[in-house]
Each structure stands twice: as structure tokens, then as C-alpha cells.
Amino acid sequence: MGPAGTALLCLGLCIGQGIKEQAETFLRPTLEADSSPVIPQGTPVTLRCKGHPGAIWYFLMKGEIQFQGVLGEKMEANFHIHSMTRDTAGSYHCFYMTLSGFSELSEPLELVMTGFYDKPSLLVVSIQEVAEGQIVTLSCHSEQPFDQFTFYKERGANTSQLQTVWFWTNISIVSMTTTQEGTYRCYSFHSQYPYLWSASSDLLEVKVADAAPQDYTVGNLIRFSLAGLVLIILAILSVEAWYSWRVLQEAALA
């Protein structure tokens, strides 16, 4: 190997060592979607990678393949996906590069495309009142056989995923405890294609009536009666103790 080759080899080893050392001290980047990671088919989405003030380039990866790289702006960079399709749905990571080396990968961001299958139907099966609140049982039904159903609850501007259940049939039932009213939806999909979901079911508004007021009269009467009985017994014991003490005092004085 000539002098030039030796120099290049040394440079590569030094850079590689620097990347290894710096990755342990760099801030780990975060990757998030500008709205929800559950995106209707054909809808654009922007992914935002936040990293380090000294970052020069940011890189977005889908699976194990580098997707694209952009110049950093302050501490973040935006990646635009012009249309959500079956090819753009999937698991994404991002990382960044500084003059000292590369960061580690961000936590994965799972982008799901909805609308790939027809929407299921969502029904309330029952509402059962319990001590802590109510148990709402919902049924998500599809005309096609799916093995995964996921349920969401919306409250104002907030949307939270409640539960994903496995059920190899065209209907799935889920029970959840809630003390608040809300609007629900469900999706269905195949476990073999976890990023391709059905269209959303129609929104289902669940209103849980307040529990009927309970009459505590009998219970209160029993508690008051027991308390009175205890007081009477204590009074009798006190009188007996006082009488015994008087007898002993008189015997001592006699």
C-alpha cells in the first residue's frame, strides 16, 4: 500500500473512532409527525427531527435504508412526505451529523396509512356501572376478516389510542373503564401489514348517564344505632367502675 492509501486508511479509522465516541455524548434526536402518525391515504405529512445545535446535516431513514438528508436549521430539520401511500408508510428513524461525528438513531416513529380497506362499524354493546365509574363495551365489525382491531378515544383536541386487540374474525369486542364521556373510533388491519389500516369507522359518541343517587338512610340508621349502643355500654362500664371505686374508698375509710 502506498503512502496515499495509508493516509486514507488512517483518516478513515480516525473518523470512525470519532463517530463511535461522539455518538455516546451527543443528544439523542427525536422524530415526530407534524400531526398524528395515523395518516389518511394520499395526505401529505411533515416529519420533524430535533437534535443538536451543532448539527449540520439531518438524515431520515425508513427501515434500514437512508431515505434523505437535509441541511439542519438551528436544532431541527423537516422532511416532507408529499403523499401517504403504502410505500411511504412504515417505521422511520432520524439522526444528525456534526463536525465531530454522527449521533445515534432516534426512537422509531411508526407512520400508519389509513383508508387501505373499507371502514368497519363501531357499536356500543353495553354500559355497565361499577364502583369506580362505567365499563363501556364496544364492538368493531368489518365485512372482511382481520386479526387486528385498534380503538381510539377523542376528547376535544386530544386523541388517545385505547387498545389494540387480536381477534381472527370479522368482529372484535373490547371493554374499557371510563368515567368520562367521549367520542370513539376504530380501525381494522392485518398483522402481516401493520402499517396499512382500514378507513376509520364512523365516529361514535358515548354518553354515560350519571349513576342514580343511592339512598343511604338505612345504612346511616344502622351506623348511628351501633354508635349509640357502644356509648351506652361505655356509660354502664363507667358507672360500674365508679361504683366499685366508691365501695373501695368507703371500706378503706371504715
Q: Quick one: average pLDDT of 46-62? A: 91
Report how far residue 51's alpha carbon sits from residue 74's, in angstroms, rounded to the nearest whole number: 9
Q: 124 and 202: one domain?
A: yes
Q: How many domains does the chain have?
A: 2
% of the chain with per-residue pLDDT over 70: 59
Q: 156 and 74: one domain?
A: no
Q: How much is the pLDDT for 10? A: 40
| Dihedral class, residue 88 (left if φ above 0, else alpha if ψ from -120 to 50, else beta) | alpha
Q: Where are the alpha helices (DSSP H) in the chain?
A: 3-22, 217-253
For the chain, what is the mean pLDDT?
74
Q: 128 and 86: one domain?
A: no
pLDDT bracket for residue 213 (50, 70, 90): very low
Q: Quick one: average pLDDT of 62-89? A: 86
Res. 237: pLDDT tops 60: no
pLDDT digits (tens, 9 = 90+) for 187-203: 999 989 999 999 999 99
172 or 28, which is more confident: 28
Res. 71: pLDDT tops 60: yes
Question: How many residues are recorded in the chain?
Answer: 254
Q: How much is the pLDDT for 22? A: 47
pLDDT digits (tens, 9 = 90+) for 128-153: 665 556 777 788 888 888 888 888 88
Q: 136 and 63: one domain?
A: no
Other Cβ atoms less than 10 A from the Cβ of 133: the count is 13
Q: What is the CATH number of the domain that holds 174?
A: 2.60.40.10
Q: 166 and 145: one domain?
A: yes
The residue from 63, 95, 114 where one domain ends is 114
Q: Which of 3-17, 181-195, 237-251 has the highest mean pLDDT?
A: 181-195
Report how far residue 64's alpha carbon sits from residue 90's, in angstroms, rounded to the nearest whole number: 11
Res. 65: pLDDT tops 60: yes
Question: Which domain does 129 fall in, by range?
Answer: 118-206
Report how far residue 244's alpha carbon sits from residue 233's, in angstroms, rounded to the nearest whole number: 17
Q: Is residue 167 part of a domain?
A: yes
The residue from 90, 114, 138 where one domain ends is 114
Res. 91: pLDDT tops 90: yes
Q: How much is the pLDDT for 124? A: 82
